[in-house]
Amino acid sequence: MLEVSSTWTEKLLTVASAFSRARTAREVGQVAVSLGIEALGATSGALALVSSGGKRVNIVAASDLERPEQEPCAQSLPLPDRSVASDAIRQAAAVFVDSPEEHRRRYPLLADPADREGTRVAVPLLAGEHPIGFLVFGFTTWVSLPEGARSFVQALASLGTQALDRARLLDAEQRARRRLKILTDAAEAFNAPATSVRAVFEAVTRQVGIAMGDGCILRLVSPDGAWLEPKAWWAALADRHEALSHALAGTPSAKASPPRSSARARRSSSPSWTSRNASARCRRGTRRGSSVMPSTASSRRPCSSRDASSARSR
């Protein structure tokens, strides 16, 4: 059990209270970073989660008091081979670099510490003994943190990990509730009297669009298997729906090869997701991503594809 003075204990109580009100991972990250910076007297901080492959980190929250006007950092970054953060992950232990000598000892091949002056602290977020992320703080000068501050930042990381787990469970519960509602609404639409095939298609696009993005297109594979023909579409905004109608009406197959995500979904009979940055055909800022979900017939050959894509403009 970490020992901290009464002052640091009071700060931890404040942190614990703030974590109890956090409902999402982002809110948890913002609490950890902002209160950590305030308590330690740091000038920057960040909370990040490591990807499943361990090669990249996803930034949950970050703050830099020296450059408050700076644009938000990228959400996903490669994990450096050598840094306080990667060392904390690799060692599953807190790393404190609080002097130029310690910097040179740990990172002899990196730039001169004078180029990046200031103490750096990184603490892993541990699920059991497995690091799932890290909490990092930076200072503009070399300062040696007292034992109470070191215990505090490690306790902060531990409380943050617990809060992240609660947020994950809450998110899973909310998604399960949304899924149940979607299935209930879809069942009512499908079981309506005198439901036509067209009405079923429209119900599918509406429910999938609401669940996954701002728009949805349903395409059926043509009899010869060469085309994906648009059969129904839906968009949250009336003008977007009208634009889809004009773009897709009267174009049975768009006279083009199906997108790679659609082809992958058809071959594997499993969903495929494409982010905005990975989609070369999407104009920057007009589409965030797309999800392609194949529908299979009894012959086990993919017979339809539902393309739910976000079409929000910045």
By CB neighbour count within 10 A (0-12 exposed, 13-18 middle, 19+ buried), where does 273 fall?
middle
Averaged pLDDT, 284-305: 46
Q: Tokens 């644009």, residue?
A: 71
pTM: 0.64
Please, which residues have CB within 8 angstroms of residue 11's CB and are 6 or more apart in sequence?
Answer: 35, 39, 152
Averaged pLDDT, 190-216: 77
Please, which residues have CB within 8 angstroms of residue 137's CB and are 6 or more apart in sequence?
Answer: 36, 37, 40, 42, 44, 45, 120, 121, 153
Tens-digit pLDDT profile for residues 5-51: 568 889 999 999 999 999 999 999 999 999 999 999 999 999 999 98
The model's confidence at residue 67, banded by pLDDT at 50, 70 and 90, is low
The model's confidence at residue 279, banded by pLDDT at 50, 70 and 90, is very low
pLDDT at residue 166 is higher than 90:
yes
Encoded tokens for 159 = 């409380």
Contacts for 102-106 with beta carbons within 8 Å, 24 or more apart?
A: 106/82
State the chain's mean pLDDT as an integer: 76
Which of 32-36, 158-162, 258-262 shows the lowest per-residue confidence on average (mean pLDDT)? 258-262
| Domains observed in the chain | 6-170 (3.30.450.40), 182-310 (3.30.450.40)
Confidence at residue 21, expressed as pLDDT on a 0 to 100 scale: 93
Contact 96, 119 (CB under 8 A): yes
Encoded tokens for 8 = 């640091």
Please give the Cα distance from 281 to 291 (Å, whole number).
Answer: 15
Which residue did the predictor score with more confidence, 175 or 111? Answer: 175
Tens-digit pLDDT profile for residues 121-135: 999 999 988 999 999
Contact 140, 119 (CB under 8 A): no
Confidence at residue 309, expressed as pLDDT on a 0 to 100 scale: 42
